[in-house]
Amino acid sequence: MKYFSTKDRSLKIDLKTVVTTGMPSDGGLYMPVDIPQISSYVLSEFQNMPINDIAKVVLHDFIVDDLNQSDFEVVVDEALNFNIPLKKITDNISVLELFHGPTLAFKDVGARFMSRLLSKLIKNDKQMINIVVATSGDTGSAVASGFYNVDGIRVFILYPSKKISDIQKKQITTYGNNIYPLEIEGNFDDCQRIVKRLLSDQQIHEMHRITTANSINIARLLPQIVYYFKAVSQFKEYDKLYISVPSGNFGNLCAGIIAKKMGLCIFKFIAATNVNDVVPHYLNTGEYLPKPSKRTLSNAMDVGDPSNFERILELYQHDYQAIKEDIIGLAFTDEQTKFKIKDMFQNQGYLLDPHGAVGLFALEEILKRFSCSLNIKGIALETAHPAKFKEDMEKIIGKNIEIPVRLKERLRLKEKSELLPNEYSKVKEYFLSICG
């Protein structure tokens, strides 16, 4: 498989170059030249297959031209070695729990896959590779965990000061060794802009190898396609299937759209956001108006200029009507998010995290529009474990939340990070001081 830039379709770039550079030099984003098709017969086989075996089918054509089959299977088996269960909430609504990985967030899927893929791709290289990543919460912890002590790789994680939960900060700042956490005096969009400048800085490229582990990097996004196939395969008969995706940087939704274009039977997606509603506004008006992000309870979705929106435009060839045909956009306030968490806990005995609550609220709002005679099914993605937001969650439900053992162990460790101003020159200076 070759990859092109969203700003230059004539490019035909190999996977190793795509993964090790992160972004094209023209400032676009990499996309696969072709979208592989999965036949209805193969899709029917997925129902009884474990997720790693599904991944070997779904991701095969994206990867194997650049990685031998044996290494590809090792990457998949090591990355996708945890369960992703589909929990039935009502007769027509289910929740896909994506938080059973090491850091209790869906980002584990992409980060673990990318770390192992990159390790295989550069195993014969002599020069160190540097990863820079911006995080609004869960990406940083997943990347820190996934790349910790991986030979030949240094990781710089930029996170917004005082805008992530204490637990998320612990999960980013307690590794050491090859993991360098940078606390930036700004918001997520500031961190993301700095990362993009580092990736396009010619002076840095002349001295060091640099890439990113944000969903800007296609290697982070591709494995997320797999759990859509796993989830949908659990449904035998339905008239229409809606999937509600809590959305921030829109990599998760982008992966779902690719899955649909590969042949997966999904009627519509719901782009569910908090008050950072740039994409729902676009879907409702046709105007894409980036703006500074606002801090919310669902902090991993606090993005005012989502990078992967460019990929979504590319997947639909910039056809606004085609995008509207497949995607519905809804936005919710913190008060609505809290209401849904409390409502679900009291009436269904199910505890949502703030991001999953936004996704479920959006799904319920859409399904209310249909008569009971239709066999409509819906899946809401639950992207993080509620314990990652322990303090806020306990205030909402009025009860103590038990922290999983592996998270307790992380919380006991000492934090170490570098506080830097929201200035590109200062971050670049620090980067070069570490890389030499």
What is the Cα–Cα distance from 381 to 395, expressed in whole angstroms? 23
Give the bridge partners for 328, in sequence order: 270
186-219 tens-digit pLDDT: 998 899 899 989 988 999 999 999 999 988 899 9
User: What's the mean pLDDT in 396-413?
Assistant: 92
What is the Cα–Cα distance from 229 to 38, expressed in whole angstroms? 10
The whole-number pLDDT of residue 20 equals: 93
The whole-number pLDDT of residue 4 equals: 97
Instruction: Give the closest residue to 227 by CA, choosing from 390, 367, 373, 54.
Output: 54
Contact between 139 and 160 under an 8 Å Cβ cutoff? The reply is no
The whole-number pLDDT of residue 372 equals: 62
348-371 tens-digit pLDDT: 999 999 999 999 999 999 998 876
Q: Is the pLDDT of residue 253 over 80?
A: yes
308, exposed or middle or buried, with CB in 10 Å at 0-12, 13-18, 19+?
buried
Give the bridge partners for 382, in sequence order: 97
What structural domains and CATH numbers belong to the chain? Answer: 76-105+221-405 (3.40.50.1100)
Out of 188-192, 224-228, 283-287, 380-384, which region has the weakest mean confidence (pLDDT)?
Answer: 188-192
The whole-number pLDDT of residue 151 equals: 86
Contact between 431 and 155 under an 8 Å Cβ cutoff? The reply is no
User: What's the mean pLDDT in 431-436?
Assistant: 93
User: What's the mean pLDDT in 297-309?
Assistant: 92
Structure-token pair, residue 128: 């160190």
pLDDT confidence bin for 244, thresholds 50/70/90? very high
pLDDT confidence bin for 373, thresholds 50/70/90? low
Q: Is the pLDDT of residue 166 over 90?
A: no
The whole-number pLDDT of residue 371 equals: 61
Distance set, CA 106 to CA 223, 317, 421 (Å): 11, 28, 29
256-281 tens-digit pLDDT: 999 999 999 999 999 999 999 999 99
The whole-number pLDDT of residue 406 equals: 87
Q: Is the pLDDT of residue 19 over 90?
A: yes
172-181 tens-digit pLDDT: 999 999 999 9
pLDDT confidence bin for 77, thresholds 50/70/90? very high
Question: What mean pLDDT value characterizes the chain?
Answer: 94
Q: Is the pLDDT of residue 64 over 90?
A: yes
What is the Cα–Cα distance from 350 to 13, expressed in whole angstroms? 45
Structure-token pair, residue 378: 């819906």
pLDDT confidence bin for 375, thresholds 50/70/90? confident
139-158 tens-digit pLDDT: 899 999 999 998 889 999 99
Report residue 204 CA to chain centroid gap.
27
Would you say how long the chain is, in residues? 436
